[in-house]
Amino acid sequence: MDPHVTTARPAPPSLEVAGLAYAYPDGHQALFGVDLSIARGERVALLGPNGAGKTTLVLHLNGILTAGAGTVTVAGLPLGKRHLAEIRRKVGIVFQDPDDQLFMPTVREDVAFGPAAAGVRGPELEARVLKALGRVGMAAYADRPPHHLSFGQRRRVAVATVLAMEPEILVLDEPSSNLDPASRRELADILRSLDVTVLMVTHDLPYALELCPRALILSDGVIAADGPTGELLADKDLMSGHRLELPFGFDPKTAAREG
């Protein structure tokens, strides 16, 4: 091997979680040792019944909650005080209710808020805002008040507020909830077009199959299954064992072939 030739090291996974355990102050143990790894650019669905620990897991990914045991590593950076600010930039969470993220007088100001707080100014800030709005098809609404937009439009602006931070990972909490069919399709097209890692927390199993080649099932505070989304959804014993139900008449094998 030529000593003058250097080979590029593979990029670290976007997310690595090892042995993550957490108990709330009241003693309720929500996570019992979660292990998972998500490669850069993957779109992964996080599935599981209510009470499985999905929200608790998500709140560990950017340090909102601190693990009782185990580790979280984002793009090679271990989660801790030293890297907390950088990790919070790298992990963008889009909450289920877009009104939790939109509070400024105009769409432009909402999307600019995060980068401006991080010190971005002037032409660079404006470029980030317009790029993020363009990626979600909302550039023409930059000067509109968010409360004048439809629910689906507000959800897209909420995604833009996170994209403006140029994250490594986009975490979406129930992204299809309360969307009409057209808004649901528009959001799916946007998510497919993004060049970021996506972790989608959802009860909408057909949406998970449509958008995420891989799925994780979190149940009773541990990862109970990890594999191709279509295969997991087609496993009736696995699904019933973890209180997951497909819509009446929905066949994941047929849907996967049609997709």
Query: Looking up tokens 């995060």, which residue turns up?
Result: 114
Token reading at 35 = 């292990």
Provide the pLDDT confidence category of residue 254 given band limits of 50, 70 and 90. confident
- Cα separations (Å) of 201 from 9, 26, 80, 118, 137? 31, 25, 24, 27, 23
Inside any domain, residue 128: no
pLDDT tens-digit series, residues 223-248: 999 999 999 999 999 999 999 999 88
- Please tell me the total count of domains within the chain: 1
Inside any domain, residue 45: yes
Tell me: pLDDT of 156 over 90. Answer: yes
- Cα separations (Å) of 154 from 28, 146, 225? 35, 6, 33
Residue 88's domain comprises 15-100+169-258
Inside any domain, residue 105: no
Inside any domain, residue 117: no
Inside any domain, residue 76: yes
Inside any domain, residue 155: no
Inside any domain, residue 233: yes
Inside any domain, residue 120: no
Q: What is the CATH number of the domain that holds 51?
A: 3.40.50.300
Sort 91 into a burial class: Cβ within 10 Å, 0-12 / 13-18 / 19+.
buried
pLDDT tens-digit series, residues 109-149: 999 999 999 999 999 999 999 999 999 999 999 999 999 99
First to last CA, the chain: 45
Provide the pLDDT confidence category of residue 11 given band limits of 50, 70 and 90. confident
Tell me: pLDDT of 209 over 80. Answer: yes
At 3 the pLDDT is: 57
Tell me the average pLDDT of the chain: 92
Query: What's the pTM?
Result: 0.91
